[in-house]
Structure 1
Amino acid sequence: MSSETLNTRKIMDPDAPNRSTGIINGRSSNVLNWDDVRFSWAYPKYKRMLANFWTPFEINMSKDIRQFPQLSETEQDAYLKIIGLLALLDSIQTDYAGKVADYLTDSSLNALMIILAQQEVIHNHSYSYVLSSVVSKSKQDETFDYWRTEPTLRKRNDFITNGYADFAESPTVRNLLRSIVYDVILEGLFFYSGFAFFYNLARNQKMVATSTMINYINRDEQLHVDLFAKIFKEVLEQYPEENTKELEDFVRETFKHAAELEIAWGREIIGNRIEGIEMHELEDYIKFMAHKRVKQMGYEGPYPEHKKNPMRWIVAYQEVDLGKTDFFEQKSRQYTKTSDENGFDDL
């Protein structure tokens, strides 16, 4: 069965309504009136993404600068390699978000993609900011090139970039849907052993500034995952013929493969060498997250035996898009940035 080719959004369509007629391959004037948009969830998402705004300059790295040389060799190695991984993945995301935005007929969703891409740029800036604080320029350059030299990293990264390639080269409805699967893997699964590593450092009062920045990134990525899951479902609503058993199997099997790659990376970078993280718990946590993400996309998860989070201490950094008061929001401000005075020691 052939899949419909995607048409790029027109800069202006004076004969079309402001409210789009479809999420893709529809018509819209491209004039954005937030009180006249197709999707009721778009404006709340916009407000939440704005509320998450931050910049790396807000983070005082002085204590981390003093602590980094005191980390064990294993901790230093994991710290740098995980930052190197995150830098590559967020670089890819900036470009991918722009490509998706080109085909979203709805101007409100195009706006959300632009904000998402800007947040990915900030994430990448934060990695440069962190590394320039704690290591030399030559070590920073080496870290940003780890994806070229580390075989496990290369295998994971090729998995994502190859997954995006079909959509970039042949933009059809089917390829868009499949590319979103890889996006949710990247933002909702592939970061998570790295997040666990930094949060574990923080709960032991190590590198709290870095982990604070990682938490800001984690909050953004949760919103991004939810946005793409919503787009995935809206596309299937518009094109129900694409919602096949083949697609469901693809989602489930691709997430299982991704979980295996993330577990292999966790064994290599963390193993049982980091105090506070048991590898068997991390493996179960990765499967738990994979199961959760597949369900978020509307299908039965691939790991029904992993419905509960085995690393409960990390829950303070999750579920940031559910409108709940979380671990960090303990001051009068609606959005309180975390420091070593207001947070991590309570985990």
Structure 2
Amino acid sequence: MSIQSPQYILDPGLSLTLRPMRYPVFFEMFKNGIRNTWTVEEVDFSTDLVDLRSRLTNAEIHLIQRLVAFFATGDSIVSNNLVLNLYKHINSPEARLYLSRQLFEEAVHVQFYLTLLDNYVPDPEARAAAFAAVENIPSITKKAQFCMRWMDSIQKLDELRTTDEQRQFLLNLICFAGCIEGLFFFAAFAYVYFLRSRGLLNGLAAGTNWVFRDESAHLEFAFEVVNVVRSENPELFDEKLEQDVVEMMKEAVDCELQFAEDLLSGGVAGLSVREMKQYLEYVADSRVARLGMEPIFGSKNPFAFMELQDVQELANFFERRVSAYQVAVAGEVGFNEDF
């Protein structure tokens, strides 16, 4: 493997040169990520446990247990793709610094969702079933299979030598950012913030605020890599690539819609499958817009509480001080109990 500086970001090799810096935008993203550090121990779940015991309906409990079952494996899928696929092909030491930081953030997310399961699902057998969700819950199995099919397509590629291989990588990256982090997780956030809008599960919402910020930064990074590739290799962005992205997005929406039908199967007051479908289409359109593509669905955001979330959590969040993220917590939660 060559260690000389590449001409382009997808050139094979392993660039080690941070000076002169070829892509300073990624180094700034890395530094911003450091400023956005948080820990699971800062999240207070004490009121959530009260909500779960006495305030949630059976349909809402089903929704939240399905949701944390997805969370339990979702970020592990993301971490695997970072390590096995993205890191070795994005040939920029600045970008690899950011990916290292993102991997740390994904590990914190995994710990957060592990803590959710330990506290939200007290029955050991039910908890074990949640951890095995990709095997025993069809709506989650479908999403996992979608992820693996698109992302595993480049695992056997040690280097991107041909135009077709570079397109394969781009589809992996777009699936990773646009569908998995940018659609599956943003759909999950909508359920959390819907419950928060009703005064429920404030601990989950507080932790999700930090995850939301992390994931939004991950999207910015991934789409910036796409922008760099577009400027350096414009020939990759042809009609066939666009058709593949449209197919991918439609399939992702279908997977997430099946998950919504499962989550809402008990009838959750104030939230419908129709509204979730519209929201998923809206999010999908916003992702393809980042790629300079026309909308696929033409749907509007039906959820005012998500519009408010965008304003509260994303506007100028990198300009906030670290102390704005760090909050004092109260209450006792068992973080070190055995499974």
* Corresponding residue number in structure 1 for 2:139: 152
Kindly indicate whether the alpha-carbon contact (under 8 Å) linking 2:194 and 2:305 is maintained by their aligned counterparts in 1.
no
Gaps in structure 1 of 5+ consecutive residues: 1-7, 341-347
Kindly indicate whether the alpha-carbon contact (under 8 Å) linking 1:90 and 1:124 is maintained by their aligned counterparts in 2.
yes
Change beyond 3 A, Cα 1:191–1:147: same
Question: What is the identity, as a one-letter code, of the residue corresponding to 1:122?
Answer: V
Kindly indicate whether the alpha-carbon contact (under 8 Å) linking 2:72 and 2:130 is maintained by their aligned counterparts in 1.
no
What CA distance in whole angstroms lies between the structure 1 residues aligned with 2:255 and 2:247?
Answer: 13
Kindly indicate whether the alpha-carbon contact (under 8 Å) linking 2:105 and 2:214 is maintained by their aligned counterparts in 1.
yes
What CA distance in whole angstroms lies between the structure 2 residues aligned with 1:302 and 1:339?
Answer: 43
Q: Which residue, out of 65, 72, 94, partners 1:108?
A: 94
Residue deviations 1:135-163, cap 9 Å, x none?
32433222111221111211121011111
- Percent identity, aligned pairs only, is 20
Q: Which residue, out of 165, 170, 175, partners 2:168?
A: 175
Deviation at 1:237, TM superposition (A): 2.4
What CA distance in whole angstroms lies between the structure 2 residues aligned with 1:122 and 1:165?
Answer: 24
Kindly indicate whether the alpha-carbon contact (under 8 Å) linking 2:253 and 2:280 is maintained by their aligned counterparts in 1.
yes
Kindly indicate whether the alpha-carbon contact (under 8 Å) linking 2:183 and 2:284 is maintained by their aligned counterparts in 1.
yes
Question: What is the identity, as a one-letter code, of the residue corresponding to 1:159?
Answer: F
* Corresponding residue number in structure 2 for 1:50: 34
* Corresponding residue number in structure 1 for 2:208: 214
- Give the secondary-structure state (helix, strand or coil) at the position aligned to 1:156: helix
* Corresponding residue number in structure 2 for 1:5: none
Change beyond 3 A, Cα 1:140–1:272: closer
Residue deviations 1:288-317, cap 9 Å, x none?
0000001112222212x22x3221221233
TM-score by structure 2 length? 0.86
Deviation at 1:131, TM superposition (A): 1.7
Q: Which residue, out of 277, 294, 308, partners 1:316?
A: 308
Deviation at 1:319, TM superposition (A): 6.5
* Corresponding residue number in structure 2 for 1:120: 106
What CA distance in whole angstroms lies between the structure 1 residues aligned with 2:172 and 2:253?
Answer: 17
TM-score by structure 1 length? 0.84
Deviation at 1:26, TM superposition (A): 5.9
Question: What is the identity, as a one-letter code, of the residue corresponding to 2:113?
Answer: Y
Deviation at 1:77, TM superposition (A): 1.4
Which range moved further: 45-54 or 201-210?
45-54
Gaps in structure 2 of 5+ consecutive residues: 159-164, 331-339
Alignment pair present for 1:73 and 2:58: yes
Alignment pair present for 1:64 and 2:58: no
1:93-104 to 2 correspondences below 5 Å: 93-99=78-84, 100-104=86-90
Kindly indicate whether the alpha-carbon contact (under 8 Å) linking 2:38 and 2:326 is maintained by their aligned counterparts in 1.
no
Change beyond 3 A, Cα 1:339–1:283: farther
Which range moved further: 123-132 or 60-69?
60-69
Deviation at 1:264, TM superposition (A): 2.0
What CA distance in whole angstroms lies between the structure 1 residues aligned with 2:243 and 2:15?
Answer: 37
For CA contacts below 8 A with separation 6 or more, give which structure has more relative contact order.
2
What CA distance in whole angstroms lies between the structure 2 residues aligned with 1:66 and 1:212?
Answer: 16
Task: Name segments (4+ residues, structure 1) moved above 3 Å.
Answer: 26-29, 319-323, 331-340
* Corresponding residue number in structure 2 for 1:38: 22
What is the alpha-carbon root mean square deviation over aligned residues? 2.6
Residue deviations 1:206-244, cap 9 Å, x none?
111012112211211111112111112222322222111
Q: Which residue, out of 130, 144, 148, partners 1:161?
A: 148
- How many residue pairs are counted as aligned between the two chains? 319
Change beyond 3 A, Cα 1:230–1:94: same
Which range moved further: 167-176 or 71-80?
167-176
Question: What is the identity, as a one-letter code, of the residue corresponding to 2:167?
Answer: R
Kindly indicate whether the alpha-carbon contact (under 8 Å) linking 2:279 and 2:302 is maintained by their aligned counterparts in 1.
yes
What CA distance in whole angstroms lies between the structure 2 residues aligned with 1:320 and 1:186?
Answer: 23
Kindly indicate whether the alpha-carbon contact (under 8 Å) linking 1:267 and 1:279 is maintained by their aligned counterparts in 2.
yes
Deviation at 1:113, TM superposition (A): 0.7
What CA distance in whole angstroms lies between the structure 2 residues aligned with 1:147 and 1:227?
Answer: 28
What CA distance in whole angstroms lies between the structure 2 residues aligned with 1:322 and 1:105?
Answer: 29
What CA distance in whole angstroms lies between the structure 1 residues aligned with 2:265 and 2:301?
Answer: 19
Change beyond 3 A, Cα 1:165–1:271: same
Alignment pair present for 1:265 and 2:259: yes
What CA distance in whole angstroms lies between the structure 1 residues aligned with 2:17 and 2:327?
Answer: 35
Kindly indicate whether the alpha-carbon contact (under 8 Å) linking 1:208 and 1:339 is maintained by their aligned counterparts in 2.
no
Kindly indicate whether the alpha-carbon contact (under 8 Å) linking 2:59 and 2:265 is maintained by their aligned counterparts in 1.
no
Kindly indicate whether the alpha-carbon contact (under 8 Å) linking 1:30 and 1:107 is maintained by their aligned counterparts in 2.
yes
Kindly indicate whether the alpha-carbon contact (under 8 Å) linking 1:147 and 1:154 is maintained by their aligned counterparts in 2.
yes
Deviation at 1:337, TM superposition (A): 4.7
Kindly indicate whether the alpha-carbon contact (under 8 Å) linking 2:24 and 2:94 is maintained by their aligned counterparts in 1.
no
What CA distance in whole angstroms lies between the structure 2 residues aligned with 1:150 and 1:118?
Answer: 28
Question: What is the identity, as a one-letter code, of the residue corresponding to 1:83?
Answer: V
